[in-house]
Structure 1
Amino acid sequence: MNNRNLLLLAIALLMFPQIAQTLYSPALGDIGRVFDVGPEAAAQTLSVYFLAFAVGVVVWGRLCDRIGRRPTMLAGLAIYASATVIGLRVGSFTGLLAVQAVAAFGAAVGSVVTQTVLRDRFKGAELAQVFSIMGIALAASPAIGLFSGASLVQAFGYRGVLGALLVLAVLLLLWSMYTLPETRPEQLPPVSLIETLGRMLRDLGIWRSALWIASFNVALFSYYSLAPFQFQRLGLSDTLFGYSGVILALGSGFGAWFNKRLLKAGVAAMQLIRLAAVSGLLGGLGVWWLQDSAAFVLPMLLIVLAFGMAIPNILGMALVDYSDRLGTAGALLGLFYYLLIGAGLMLAGWSQALGETLIACSGLALLLTIKSAAK
């Protein structure tokens, strides 16, 4: 399989978890109505998703070092599709949360295994460029998810979203079955999970990367978990919330494109991450200032721009010291940051304070760049 075809499949597989998350977001209001739960409880479905996703990242990352990238990917997609079938029949909110957890466990394969495949094929500056390309493609995910999700909920309720996710999972399973290559090195030495965990727990660079990734992700996904209820409070429709995803996708896409251009110009990754953190902080202040107006969506452009700039650089340099154990190290890094994302979104769901959440996340990201420069 040539690199161009591999990148196309990798883009689809990396977009899958993000589309699954954002497609689900417009359904939160309908879930609250169908199961008679409040906004705080409904918003926790995304927190459960991320926490289960973290467990999946560890399992699939470890398996892709043990049995290979290809069979691991196929198993994860099959589990996601099976869980979604069950979700179409579930009759209680607790049951729906359980199904969400299993589905998230399966969806995690699209993140950790795809990143491992890309790290197998590309190195150094070329890898950073590839992640920038991925970032541009991922920018379309919020628009696809929010717009499609809003339309599906309006026509079919939350089950329409689940049905669409089932179709998507089956298509990706078939595509991967017929075209995904095995990229695991033949002479990969045996790696101890416990030894790798101990090494990474002592690595301050790993913790900085995990906190960065979590900060930018919580800032982004707190919008998807909290904004539906803010739109309701302002008397705005779910359809308008879906349209807001198009605006945000433009900001994220511009951020990833701008990042790619600056990388080619020789700007250092740390400078780009710092610039992204400043952008996010300004966006958070703007959302907080405009929270009683529909205009609060506009400063969210700075949040998604920050995400598009920062994440490719963080991912590109996070595991440079773990090239002999990319699957296992990627799994553990994913565990760290997805647990942090899940906890952050849980706190955001309880607070129902979007602006304050964005300010806290961006402030932490900026502080980490200052601490890093001071080392």
Structure 2
Amino acid sequence: MKNVRQSVPSLGLMITLVGFPQISESIFTPVLPQLRRAFTVSANQVQLTMSTYFMAFAVGVLLWGQLADKWGRRPAMLAGIVLYLVGNLGLYFSQQFSILIGWRLVQALGASAGSVVTQTIMRESFRGITGAKVFARTSAAMALAPALGPLIGGAMQTYLGYHSVFATLIAMAVAVGLYALSRLPETQPRNVQSPRVHQWRVVCRLVSDPIVWGYGLLIGGINGILFSYYAEAPFIFITHFGYSAVQYGWLGLVLASASLLGALIVNHLLSFWTPEQVALRGLVFSVVASGGLILAAAWQRPVFMIGGIFLTFLGLNVALPNALNRALIGYEDVMGSASGWFSLNYYLLVSALTYGMSWLHNGAIQTLPLYMAVLSVGMLLALVGLVLPRVREDVMV
């Protein structure tokens, strides 16, 4: 028997649940050079802790999306957090790099519930302009959370060693679990489709929808750029420019500022433009900014590179919330399963793009800016070619 929706969850809870998976990914970045030395592996190998995270994450969003329809939103979320805690405990006690990678997969599998189940809850709890603004705020958290990760990880590694980062993740899992246990309501409405959702029909609907393709490429591409940055940036600022782990951690505030400012801009622009128009302008801005980042890298100027990174991510954070909010309009009858399949594909793209950055890693600081610029152009083409011609309302650009 399906639960009747009891109440609308708080924005603070939604931000917490959508943010902890992002922190879990980026908190690793300041310790990558240290892990490389501790486990005697190459830089390319240690970057696998980033790309493999998203491989398991992609599988997890499909699993939890379907379980959210079958069990309900609250039980699925709580089960995911428990699995996430188990993965963090495994990381803490890992003595070999291969075992570390294995527990990283478990951690990601549990953490993925925080992404897909939270987005499912938000899509069914907030609609219209209100939904767009809520997604803008939680999108800022999705960018702010990984921006805080390097700051936390850098400080913990510097003063207490890299094992303290794993201890921090364990404590975070316990805190998030208790918060969700006490405050998360069941939001699944009574009239939701039966758990026996015909998955093949859901997949066919998604695959045949160009708007889903376009927004999936945007969401996957933006997150792919974000986590490619986190995989490569330590080797630019710590190894090349000589920043300490703590100094590198403070650079997370650059991305945090970009995400917060992007959310404010989206809330303002939605009063004048459609979400598609806002997303288009954000991507155009990021393309131009990434071109400036390439020039800054050529000049070997870290301050200019930081400025280019800020502007590039500002544009991306203007585009992202609109893509998240608009991607699955019309799929309310199968929202959990649709969110799972949709998230599976864009997280596979995130994993592939993050792996692509590790594969391209060659020690040159120009590689990341070029990668970001190419992906920004690709996302702009996806929006213009797949979404704008088919939006379900008049869009005058």
TM-score class, shorter-chain normalisation, is over 0.9
Match of 1:238 in 2: 245
* Matching residue's letter, 1:77: I
- Does the 8 A contact of 2:275 with 2:322 survive in 1? yes
- Give, in whole Å, the separation in 1 of the partners of 2:179 and 2:146: 22
Find out whether 1:118 has 2:122 as its counterpart.
yes
- Per-residue deviation, 1:304: 1.8
Judging changes above 3 Å, is the alpha-carbon distance between structure 1 residues 370 and 233 closer, same or farther for their aligned structure 2 residues? same
Pick one of 289, 301, 304 that aligns with 1:293.
Answer: 301
Q: Could you tell me the percent identity over the aligned residues?
A: 34
- Give, in whole Å, the separation in 1 of the partners of 2:222 and 2:147: 18
Match of 1:92 in 2: 96
Find out whether 1:140 has 2:144 as its counterpart.
yes
Match of 2:383 in 1: 369
- Per-residue deviation, 1:249: 0.9
Q: TM (normalized to structure 1)?
A: 0.96
Pick one of 34, 54, 62 that aligns with 1:58.
Answer: 62
Find out whether 1:282 has 2:291 as its counterpart.
no
Match of 1:262 in 2: 269
- Does the 8 A contact of 2:225 with 2:353 survive in 1? no
Match of 1:328 in 2: 337
Deviations 1:270-327 (A, max 9, x none): 1111111122212322222222331212100122212321111001111111010110
- Give, in whole Å, the separation in 2 of the partners of 1:312 and 1:125: 12
- Does the 8 A contact of 1:234 with 1:293 survive in 2? no
Pick one of 198, 201, 222 that aligns with 1:192.
Answer: 198
- Give, in whole Å, the separation in 2 of the partners of 1:327 and 1:74: 16
- Per-residue deviation, 1:156: 2.5
- Does the 8 A contact of 1:280 with 1:358 survive in 2? no
* Matching residue's letter, 1:316: N
Pick one of 17, 29, 50 that aligns with 2:33.
Answer: 29
* Matching residue's letter, 2:380: L
Find out whether 1:359 has 2:363 as its counterpart.
no
After the TM superposition, which of the residue ranges 93-102 and 182-191 deviates more from structure 2? 182-191
Regions of 4+ moved over 6 Å: none
- Per-residue deviation, 1:95: 0.9
- Give, in whole Å, the separation in 2 of the partners of 1:314 and 1:355: 23
* Matching residue's letter, 2:91: G
After the TM superposition, which of the residue ranges 54-63 and 276-285 deviates more from structure 2? 276-285
- Per-residue deviation, 1:139: 4.2
Find out whether 1:73 has 2:87 as its counterpart.
no
- Give, in whole Å, the separation in 1 of the partners of 2:47 and 2:33: 9
* Matching residue's letter, 1:324: D
- Per-residue deviation, 1:373: 3.6
- Does the 8 A contact of 1:219 with 1:303 survive in 2? no
- Give, in whole Å, the separation in 1 of the partners of 2:125 and 2:225: 31
- Does the 8 A contact of 1:139 with 1:250 survive in 2? no
- Per-residue deviation, 1:374: 4.8
- Does the 8 A contact of 2:215 with 2:383 survive in 1? no
* Matching residue's letter, 1:314: A
- Per-residue deviation, 1:2: 5.6
Deviations 1:206-248 (A, max 9, x none): 1111101111111122111101011112222222211111122
The structure richer in helix per residue is: 1
* Matching residue's letter, 2:335: L
- Does the 8 A contact of 2:7 with 2:185 survive in 1? no
Q: TM (normalized to structure 2)?
A: 0.91
Match of 2:393 in 1: none
After the TM superposition, which of the residue ranges 153-162 and 27-36 deviates more from structure 2? 153-162
5+ residue gaps in structure 1?
none
Match of 2:22 in 1: 18
* Matching residue's letter, 2:360: S
Match of 1:214 in 2: 220
Count of residues in Structure 1 that have an aligned counterpart in Structure 2: 373
* Matching residue's letter, 1:197: V
Judging changes above 3 Å, is the alpha-carbon distance between structure 1 residues 33 and 127 closer, same or farther for their aligned structure 2 residues? same
- Per-residue deviation, 1:91: 1.0
After the TM superposition, which of the residue ranges 271-280 and 204-213 deviates more from structure 2? 271-280
Within-5 A mapping of 1:309-320: 309-320=318-329
- Per-residue deviation, 1:87: 1.0
After the TM superposition, which of the residue ranges 45-54 and 187-196 deviates more from structure 2? 187-196
Deviations 1:153-180 (A, max 9, x none): 1123321111111101111111111221
Aligned to 2:49, what secondary structure does the other structure show? helix
After the TM superposition, which of the residue ranges 341-350 and 287-296 deviates more from structure 2? 287-296
* Matching residue's letter, 2:310: L
* Matching residue's letter, 1:50: F
